[in-house]
């Protein structure tokens, strides 16, 4: 027993240095790659997602939300740090055994680099991980022989010096890595865009606590933990499959075509009934069918698969793309990376999941196949459900209570929103924001009333443009999107 304790105590400094080398390796990788798929943690997170059982993935976005993704990412971080730590510690043990000081530095550098290359496929950017891990091991073998702080025993000096160097490296690496995340540039034709944005601003009801008609923070849903970083100059989009001839477009091809500026709302099928994964923006792009028709498609199923740079894929009827847009701009700037830079599909009136970001391929199909989420049981390729959300309850100065939110029914439009302040006993029409131009745009609603004494329940429901009332039947998000009326008790 005591021999084990001694052994562990002797090995501990080496193991600690290994862990520091692991952290340094991750930081070094981040410094050169930024938060992109060539960052060494990214492929591990992807791998974890693919080995996760489908049931977990199916509920990951609804039940766990972004927490599931964060847990996945944390696990990936720990695995990579552990991997590099193992390489470094083993290298140090080999060096001790052969009493060779240079060997562990070389072994760690090359081993970590090799591991990073295997994971990311990038020979050059993997040097970041290799060199940073190697530097920590170099310090660990050099420090004991340096004539510094001779009062402290060698092991402590080593551990302390490597820990401090990792701290320094981390700060520098973080700054370098985050600098690689670029902010999107403004589009050139700003006048028309500004006029539309001003229009949306003027039409917003100004209810405290709800998004204006053009969302200030647009929700984001991605199936993978790290977004692709696609360079607009390298990007191409190809129409493939059941076509007379394949056609490939560059970003220059798109931006030199006649463009369109269009308000369009997106909503995720996996959100809660009264959730916040529904937002609106002004998009700039070109009609997607113009691009498709140049390839002369002859589909046997009338269906199409959209594929993306993150290997995401979704299948749906070509007819849904009829008024679709290939957007390269959002609210007057280039498409931000999070929302699909350089180009994404916008499919009017349909759930968010087929609005494929980082689009690279439009594959015309001959037979129907399932998309990524449909393989996992979702039915998220169709038109959105009608919904009225209740996101604000405000006390007005005059003593009244104000309730408000957004209503959305895709291309059916919103005719009216009804509010009940007595649990659905009686209903009154809410005020709606003036319509924005476009066929697929949400509206805000607001209603102010004299609150009864004591608690009461507010219920809201929307009537779509066809006159159909939002279904009262309650269901969760899986598999076809949430249904029911939003209700909230107010004291
Ligand atoms: N390439 C790609 N496109 C994608 C996704 C994705 O993970 N990868 N997520 C989809 C889902 S589920 C939704 S709801 C919308 C969200 O778009 P946003 O992140 O711009 O809000 O993008 C869709 N397009
Ligand atoms: Mo979604």
Q: What confidence tens digit (pLDDT) does each residue in 265-283 have?
A: 999 999 999 999 999 999 9
Task: Name the residue among 27, 394, 298 with its Cα closest to residue 174.
Answer: 27
Residue 241 CA to residue 468 CA, distance in Å, equals: 39
pLDDT at 65: 62
Q: Binning pLDDT at 50, 70 and 90, where does residue 108 land? A: very high
Q: What confidence tens digit (pLDDT) does each residue in 405-439 have?
A: 999 999 999 999 999 999 999 999 999 999 999 99
* The pTM of the whole model exceeds 0.85: yes
Rounded distance from Cα 401 to ligand 1 centre (Å): 36
Percentage of the chain surpassing pLDDT 70?
97
Percentage of the chain surpassing pLDDT 90?
81
Number of neighbouring beta carbons within 10 Å of residue 200: 21
Any ligand 1 atom below 6 A from CB of 223:
yes
pLDDT at 60: 65
Ligand nearest to the CA of 327: 1
Q: What confidence tens digit (pLDDT) does each residue in 462-486 have?
A: 999 999 999 999 999 999 999 999 9
pLDDT at 63: 58
Where, residue-wise, is CATH 3.90.420.10 in the chain? 191-376
CATH of 191-376, one of 3.90.420.10, 3.40.50.150, 3.30.310.50, 3.40.50.2020: 3.90.420.10
Rounded distance from Cα 269 to ligand 2 centre (Å): 5
Any ligand 1 atom below 6 A from CB of 220:
yes
The arithmetic mean of pLDDT across residues 41-46, rounded, is 94
**Would you put residue 336 in left (φ > 0), alpha (ψ -120 to 50) or beta?**
beta
Where, residue-wise, is CATH 2.60.40.650 in the chain? 387-490
Q: Binning pLDDT at 50, 70 and 90, where does residue 7 land? A: confident
Number of neighbouring beta carbons within 10 Å of residue 289: 16
Any ligand 1 atom below 6 A from CB of 219:
yes
Any ligand 1 atom below 6 A from CB of 356:
yes
Q: What confidence tens digit (pLDDT) does each residue in 212-268 have?
A: 999 999 999 999 889 999 999 999 999 999 999 999 999 999 999 999 999 999 999
pLDDT at 64: 59
pLDDT at 399: 96
Residues 6+ apart with CB under 8 A from 177: 30, 31, 32, 33, 34, 35, 39
Q: What confidence tens digit (pLDDT) does each residue in 159-218 have?
A: 888 899 889 988 998 888 888 766 778 887 689 999 999 999 999 999 999 999 999 999
Residue 330 CA to residue 351 CA, distance in Å, equals: 19
Residues 6+ apart with CB under 8 A from 151: none
Q: What confidence tens digit (pLDDT) does each residue in 356-406 have?
A: 999 999 999 999 999 999 999 999 999 999 999 999 999 999 999 999 999
CATH number of the domain at 387-490, please? Answer: 2.60.40.650
Q: What angle do CA 205, 211, 216 make, to 5 degrees?
A: 125
Residue with more model confidence, 145 or 429: 429
Residue 237 CA to residue 465 CA, distance in Å, equals: 35
Mutation to probe ligand 1, out of 49, 229, 268 (largest number of atoms < 8 A from CB): 268
């Amino acid at each position: 027993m005591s021999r084990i304790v001694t052994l562990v105590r002797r090995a501990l400094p080496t193991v600690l240095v290994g862990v520091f080398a692991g952290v340094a390796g991750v930081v070094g990788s981040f410094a050169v790659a930024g938060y992109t798929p060539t960052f060494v943690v990214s492929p591990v997170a992807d791998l974890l997602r693919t080995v996760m059982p489908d049931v977990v993935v199916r509920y990951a976005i609804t039940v766990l939300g972004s927490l599931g993704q964060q847990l996945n990412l944390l696990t990936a971080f720990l695995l990579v740090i552990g991997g590099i730590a193992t390489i470094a510690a083993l290298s140090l043990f080999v060096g001790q055994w052969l009493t060779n000081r240079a060997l562990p530095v070389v072994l760690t550098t090359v081993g970590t680099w090799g591991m990073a290359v295997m994971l990311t496929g990038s020979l050059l950017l993997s040097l970041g991980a290799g060199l940073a891990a190697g530097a920590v091991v170099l310090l660990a073998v050099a420090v004991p022989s340096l004539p510094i702080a001779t009062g402290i025993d060698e092991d402590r000096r080593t551990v302390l010096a490597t820990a401090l160097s990792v701290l320094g490296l981390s700060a520098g690496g973080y700054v370098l890595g985050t600098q690689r995340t670029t902010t999107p540039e403004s589009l050139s034709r700003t006048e028309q865009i500004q006029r539309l944005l001003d229009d949306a601003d003027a039409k917003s009801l100004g209810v405290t606590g709800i998004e204006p008609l053009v969302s200030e923070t647009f929700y984001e849903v991605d199936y993978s933990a790290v977004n692709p970083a696609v360079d607009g100059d390298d990007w191409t989009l190809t129409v493939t499959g059941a076509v007379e001839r394949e056609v490939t477009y560059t970003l220059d091809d798109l931006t030199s075509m006649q463009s369109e500026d269009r308000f369009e709302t997106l909503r995720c099928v996996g959100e809660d009934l009264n959730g916040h994964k529904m937002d609106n923006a002004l998009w700039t792009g070109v009609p997607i069918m113009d691009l498709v028709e140049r390839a002369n498609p002859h589909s046997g199923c009338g269906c199409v698969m959209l594929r993306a740079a993150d290997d995401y894929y979704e299948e749906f009827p070509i007819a849904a793309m009829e008024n679709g847009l290939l957007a390269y701009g959002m609210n007057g700037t280039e498409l931000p990376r999070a929302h699909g830079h350089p180009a994404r599909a916008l499919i009017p009136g349909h759930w968010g999941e087929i609005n494929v970001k980082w689009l690279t391929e439009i594959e015309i199909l001959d037979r129907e196949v399932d998309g990524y989420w449909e393989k996992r049981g979702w039915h998220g390729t169709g038109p959105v459900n009608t919904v009225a959300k209740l996101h604000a309850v405000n006390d007005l100065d005059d003593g009244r209570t104000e309730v408000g939110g957004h209503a959305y029914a895709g291309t059916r439009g919103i005719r009216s929103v009804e509010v009940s302040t007595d649990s659905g006993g009686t209903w009154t029409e809410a005020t709606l924001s003036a319509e924005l131009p476009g066929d697929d745009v949400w509206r805000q609603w607001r209603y102010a009333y004299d609150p009864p004494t004591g608690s009461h329940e507010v219920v809201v429901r929307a009537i779509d443009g066809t006159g159909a009332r939002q279904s009262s039947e309650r269901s969760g998000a899986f598999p076809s999107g949430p249904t029911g009326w939003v209700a909230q008790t107010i004291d």
